[in-house]
Structure 1
Amino acid sequence: MFIAMNRFKVKLGSEADFEQVWRARDSHLSTVPGFKKFDLLRGPQRDDHTLYASHTIWGSRTDFEAWTKSEAFRAAHKNAGGNKPLYVGHPEVELFEAVDLGTAEKAA
């Protein structure tokens, strides 16, 4: 399993607009081999922004890298530059390889 996250610092007062952009987008992810799951997460509010993270789960790093080189990726990101006024700074990408996959049984 491989997880790709983007952290977004969304300007205070722009949260609803940011969330609407994500709800209205055509991500094309459902057509991509190896894609497992997407979540948009809202985190803590700071002095000048609210933290968000987009969180995608992939079968492997290879699956994720193929997505970033695909036509579906280009189509999903073609209008991303128009959202810059919503952000403080640039999104930060974080990539994770699964090391130990916990289960409900382990947690009990």
Structure 2
Amino acid sequence: MYIAMNRFRVRLGKESAFEELWARREIHLDRVPGFVEFHLLRGPVREDYALYASHAVWESKAAFETWTKSEAFRAAHRDAGQGAPLTVGHPEFEGFETMLELRPATPAAA
């Protein structure tokens, strides 16, 4: 499994506009081979920004890299500059390969 994250520093007072931009954005992930799930996360508020992260889970790093070279990727990022007035600086990408995964044990049959 591979997790691709972008961290966004959203200007204070622009949080709702940032969230709305993502809610109406066509992300184009749901039809991409190897895509598992996506989350937009709201984090702590700092002195001059609110921290957000986009969090996409992929079956593998190779699946993620294939997506970054696809037409779906270009389409998903075509209007990415619209969010620039809402953020402080550029998003910061972080990619993680899963080294350990734990899940809850399934309950025993009664």
Do both proteins adopt the same fold according to a TM-score greater than 0.5, normalized to the shorter chain? yes
Flag as ranges the 4+ runs of structure 1 deviating above 4 A. none
TM superposition shift of 1:82: 1.9
Query: Aligned with 2:33: secondary structure?
Result: coil
Q: Name which one, 1 or 2, has greater alpha-carbon Rg.
A: 2
Per residue, is there more helix in 1 or in 2? 1
- Report Cα offsets for 1:26-62 as digits up to 9, x if no partner: 1110110000000000000001100000000000000
The CA distance in 2 between the partners of 1:56 and 1:46, in whole Å, is 24
Aligned position for 2:22: 22
The CA distance in 1 between the partners of 2:82 and 2:41, in whole Å, is 21
Say what the alpha-carbon RMSD is for the aligned residues: 0.6
Query: Aligned with 2:30: secondary structure?
Result: helix
- Report Cα offsets for 1:5-31 as digits up to 9, x if no partner: 000000000000000010001111011
Aligned position for 2:39: 39
Unaligned runs of 5+ in 1: none
Unaligned runs of 5+ in 2: 106-110
Query: Aligned with 2:84: secondary structure?
Result: helix
Q: Does 1:104 align with 2:104?
A: yes
TM-score (norm 2): 0.94
Identity %: 58
Aligned position for 2:10: 10
Aligned position for 2:56: 56
The CA distance in 2 between the partners of 1:98 and 1:61, in whole Å, is 10
The aligned amino acid for 2:5 is: M
The aligned amino acid for 1:10 is: V
The aligned amino acid for 2:69 is: K
